[in-house]
Structure 1
Amino acid sequence: MQIALVGTGFVADYYMTTLANHPTLSLAGAWDRDPARLEAFRAFHDVAAYRDLDALLADPAVGIVVNLTTPESHCEISRRALAAGKHVYCEKPLAMALAEAEALVAQAKAAGLTLAAAPANGLSDAHRLVEDALRSGRIGAPRLIYAAMEDGPVFRDAWARWRSRSGAPWPGAHEFAIGCTLEHAGYALSWLVTLFGPVESLTAFSAVTFPDKGPGTGSIAMAPDFSVGCLSFRSGAVARLTNGLAAPRDRSLQIFAEKGSLTVRDLWDNRSVVHVEETGAPRPLLGRMLTRAEAKLGRALPWKPVAGRRLPYRDRPGAEALPGFPSRIDFMRGVADQAEAIGRGEAPRFSGALALHITELALALNDARDLPQPYRPRSHF
């Protein structure tokens, strides 16, 4: 399957880093509205560059257009690509408004095309490990889930100096304007809905807690830098999801079930450490020793190990190319999954109704201040 990238900004280098993991994909070329950025990307990666978007969309060799533009451009670029007869893989969110996302999904369906969406961490090795553990029934039915997508106070860091491999600046000011929820909630939602099913209702709160994000950001209309939502799934499970740019970095997932619990250390790590604790099973020695130490000292210790035992991966880690910490995600895996599904004549996992549901939930979390609560999604899968 030949693919083409639209948008060569910061995240595009993550896709290029992980393209090597998927020999079934071939990059036909790339285009960006910024000629200088496109040339820097082209020269660094030694790839072809299209003269304009029309030329890219007119290339009969291109099967999938990978839409890596800014969020407010996602809808228009995807619409044009679908109209040109191309399958589309779009960075999150599908659109900045639910009606626009619904129209895109309907357009793809009417044209017999696939519209898939990031993030690809819902296809990670860690997700598969957790999915298998839940399916085995060893901890029973999940009842309560805590998910965190806290990125730390990045606005206090030297983000203006951050650069990708090919020299693209990290678009910090733009991310503050779009908001951490639309940028990051999908990384948790992709896990939640594939593990526990569609959301029946959502009660959320969002706010701008730090309006001053430092030099150069004073004129920006800030999107919420914090959101929290309580999600009720049709399966009966309940989850709490937080997104933020101020609290210490935490991208964990905790699943509390009838007969035990599962803890995923980092949803941004393709092979994250996963712990399982089964009710009634002997506790690890270190945990027991630290509990006794707390009792003798009469105070809580600043650190204790994660409850339970480490869940082993059945296969050995491959020689996969992944971005460095903290973004150890196989970004191109979603595109590869889409290409393979197209080859089989099937719908990709993160496409159509599922992609729309994740988009609607992220929008509902971000826009909580303007929506009636509880919010009941109109999308389902």
Structure 2
Amino acid sequence: MTKIAFVGTGFVADYYMTTLENHPDLQLAGVWDRDSARLAQFCAFHKVRAYADMQALLDDTDVRIVVNLTNPESHYEVNKACLEAGKHVYCEKPLAMRLDDAEAVAQLAAERGLTLCCAPANALSKAHDAFADLLSKGHIGRPRLVYAEMEDGPVFRADWQNWRSRSGAHWPGAEEFKIGCTLEHAGYALSWLVDLFGPVVHLSASSALCFPDKGVDDREALAPDFSVGLITFRNGVRARLTCGLAAPRDRSLTVLGDSGSLILRDLWDDNSPIHLSAPGNERSLLERALNFIEHRFGRTLPVRVLPGRRVTSEQAGRKRTLPSYPSQIDFMGGIAEQAAALKEGRTPFFSGKVALHLTELVLALNAGENDYKPKTGFEFSPRWSGA
């Protein structure tokens, strides 16, 4: 049994609480938040212990891993304090808002012999395992090109001011718009890509604030709500990654190989369907039927059909509890993997150098860096052996 503690009880903390029951080897010792009213609300709803202050949490010798669920601008300071107190850390993305701060906490963790892991955990899913297995068995030959989409739709036009978590936390829309969709969302695609294809050696990106009016205080400096990156991996695979808050919702991942393609329907779904196609058989029976109808009537139907045949990612085993749509991810999965690695005496993949590399990449994408060569990432290999 590994005891953990939360720092931060905002909107995302409820996602972690929802999926805690999937991991009986983890025990939540307590939580703390600088907002005393929110802390009381969270503890009353979930019936968990509240620490008197941050120091009381750090002084709890039973706690082995601290889960940093604070706002991104607080990540560096909280990570540093927890590491200095001798705690392993699991941090929501990114590790820090500046690369030098991220490097500093990664170095501190290494010096103290501690693990510093970073969300998201969606690359530890059934869908990922099935996708990686299809790649490793050569179903599409050598992968060459990737299209990754992290478009969340125009949420700023929705009634986001009234969105609430299970325990009543407000969705932090103003904070999300200030941090930007790239820092918030690019990691869901990059964690998959780095896991499958390894380190990135070159990146060219462009980012922009296209919709400055999002219904928040005009004095707030908002981050880019659009970015596109062209990414080259060390093994030669090329990828295009887009992030946005305006285009229709699309969180798909397409990998094109010498002899076929694999399409993941939704990076936010741990059980997402996967579509496999081979040259000459890209169009399914349904797609061919729809094409016939469109030609027959001379108009495009408002229906999207993914090419190829659907292959399931479902696996036998205990059914897991996941948050409701759209965030159908086992958020506690990354912490469970970190705890298991500590117990087994190994280094979890999404820690240290990998976590730092992912942070560097999202910061470069968000800044719209051109002709960027990452400083990190040359000391690890992908988990997928076929890469």
Q: TM-score range by the shorter chain?
A: over 0.9
Report deviation, 1:170: 0.5
| Structure 1 residue 300: Cα displacement | 3.8
Q: Distance in 2 between matches of 1:283 and 1:307?
A: 5
| Alignment of 1:246 onto 2:224 | no
SS across alignment from 1:326: coil
Structure 2 CA distance for partners of 1:194 and 1:282, relative to 1, 3 Å: closer
CA distance in structure 2 between the aligned counterparts of 1:211 and 1:304, rounded to whole angstroms: 30
Question: 1:120 and 1:141 mapped to 2: Cα distance?
Answer: 26
- Measured in 1, the distance between the counterparts of 2:296 and 2:7 equals 61
**2:70 corresponds to:** 69
The aligned counterpart of 2:385 is none
- Alignment match of 2:372 (pick from 350, 371, 375): 375
2:164 is matched with 163
| Whole-Å separation in 2 of the counterparts to 1:164 and 1:153 | 20
Distance in 2 (CA, whole Å) between partners of 1:119 and 1:318 is 22
Deviates more, 1:125-134 or 1:310-319: 310-319
- Tell me which residue corresponds to 1:330: 330
**Contact 2:5–2:29, Cα closer than 8 Å, also in 1:** yes
Give the equivalent residue in structure 2 for 1:135: 136
Corresponding position of 2:124: 123
The gaps in structure 2 that reach 5 residues or longer are: 381-387
Q: Which runs of 5+ in 1 are unaligned?
A: none
Tell me which residue corresponds to 2:20: 19
The one-letter amino acid of 1:375's match is Y
How far off its partner does 1:234 sit?
A: 1.1
Correspondence list, 1:302-313, <5 A: 302-313=302-313
1:1-34, CA deviations, whole angstroms, 9 ceiling, x for partnerless residues? 0000000000000000000000000000000001
Q: Distance in 2 between matches of 1:107 and 1:53?
A: 20
**Counterpart-to-counterpart distance in 2, 1:314 and 1:324:** 18
Kindly provide the CA deviation profile for residues 27-67 of structure 1, in whole angstroms up to 9, marking residues without a partner as x. Answer: 00000001111111111100011000101001000000000
Instruction: Answer whether contact 2:282 2:307 (CA < 8 A) is retained.
Output: no
1:201 aligns with 2:202: yes
Q: Which amino acid aligns with 2:372?
A: Y
The residue number in structure 2 matching 1:361 is: 361
Decide whether aligned partners of structure 1 residues 113 and 137 sit closer, same or farther in structure 2, where only a CA change above 3 A counts. Answer: same
Question: Partners of 2:139 and 2:154 in 1: how far apart?
Answer: 38
Aligned length: 377
Q: Deviations over 1:151-209 (max 9, x none)?
A: 11111111110111111101100111111110111011101111111111000000000
Which stretch shows the higher mean deviation, 285-294 or 258-267?
285-294
Alignment TM-score, normalising by the size of structure 2: 0.95
Distance in 2 between the 1:224 and 1:251 partners?
A: 18
Give TM-score scaled by structure 1 length. Answer: 0.96
- Whole-Å Cα distance in 1 between the matches of residues 35 and 300 of structure 2? 54
Cα displacement (A) at 1:328: 0.4
Question: Whole-Å Cα distance in 1 between the matches of residues 332 and 314 of structure 2?
Answer: 23
Aligned residues: percent identity?
60
Q: Note if contact 1:290-1:304 (Cα within 8 Å) is conserved in structure 2.
A: no
* Secondary structure in 2 matching 1:116: strand
Provide the secondary structure at the position in 2 that maps to 1:191: helix
2:62 counterpart SS class: coil
The answer to whether residue 162 in structure 2 is matched with residue 183 in structure 1 is no
Deviations, residues 113-171 of structure 1 (Å, cap 9, x unaligned): 10000001011111111011100011111111100111111111111101111111011
1:1-381 alignment runs, 5 A limit? 1-214=2-215, 216-281=216-281, 283-313=283-313, 315-316=315-316, 318-368=318-368, 371=369, 373-380=370-377, 381=380
| TM-aligned CA distance change 1:163 to 1:200, over 3 Å | same
SS in 2 for 1:263: strand
Separation in 1, partners of 2:282, 2:218: 55
What is the CA-CA distance between 1:283 and the residue it aligns to? Answer: 4.7
CA displacement at 1:305 relative to structure 2: 1.9
Write out per-residue CA displacement over residues 290-328 of structure 1, whole angstroms, 9 at most, x where no aligned residue.
233334444443324211111123624742111100000
What's the RMSD between the two structures over aligned residues? 1.3
Quick one: structure 1 residues 243 and 314, their matched pair in 2 at CA, closer, same or farther if it must change by over 3 Å?
closer
